Amino acid sequence: MDLLELKRFMVLLWKNFILKRRQCTALVAELILTVLFVGVLLLTRRFAAITKSGPFKYSRQPVNQLPVFLKEVPSRVWEMAFVPSKSVVVKDIVETVKRDLHYNFKVQGFPSERDFEDYVKQENNSERVMVAFVFDHEFKNSHDPLPLKVKYYLRFSSSQRNMYMEFFGPESWETDTLFQSLLP
């Protein structure tokens, strides 16, 4: 900043000071409101109830099994969906995942992502769908292989999966405590 800009800045500060000095009540009101606002924030922070849950210690969860709290949900048959349904390769991938998880999922394919979304919206089907595999690739026929660079999405339900565990409250998703961290 050169000397001319510094002088302009000082003149601007002096002008602001003179204007504030002329309106003394507005200056006092601004100062009081600022201090009052900061005080309210500090008091709220001081007296707000902070609830902590945890620490939680989980046993190791194998990758090839569903968590116990998902298996033991009464009267629940989980579904796996995949898009596009016409591809044999995609269906084989989903069937392999089903087999590796050792759970009897109902597997259902959809021709497009829009059809899958329509299915989920009707009759609360989103609670039954565990995951949907959406492959972003145009398959020309049913036996086309996957491209070298596969682009896919995993679509999960918005319903809370851990609400059947006893120590979680229904008002919280507690997503940071679903699985333990894999640190040694």
Averaged confidence pLDDT in the chain: 77
Going by their DSSP bridges, the two strands 129-135 and 152-156 should be labelled as antiparallel
> Does residue 32 carry a pLDDT above 90?
yes
Mean pLDDT value across residues 52-80: 70
Determine contact, residues 152/135, Cβ cutoff 8 Å.
yes
Element (H, E) at 129: strand 129-135
pLDDT-derived band at 130 (thresholds 50, 70, 90) equals: confident
> Does residue 30 carry a pLDDT above 50?
yes
More reliable by pLDDT, 125 or 115? 115
Determine contact, residues 79/132, Cβ cutoff 8 Å.
no
pLDDT-derived band at 58 (thresholds 50, 70, 90) equals: low
Distance CA 95, CA 80 (A): 9
pLDDT-derived band at 8 (thresholds 50, 70, 90) equals: very high
pTM: 0.52
Give residues with Cβ within 8 angstroms of 117, minimum separation 6: none
Q: Give the tokens for residue 31.
A: 């100062």
Question: So what's the pLDDT on residue 184?
Answer: 44
The three-class DSSP label of residue 8 is: helix
Question: So what's the pLDDT on residue 180?
Answer: 47
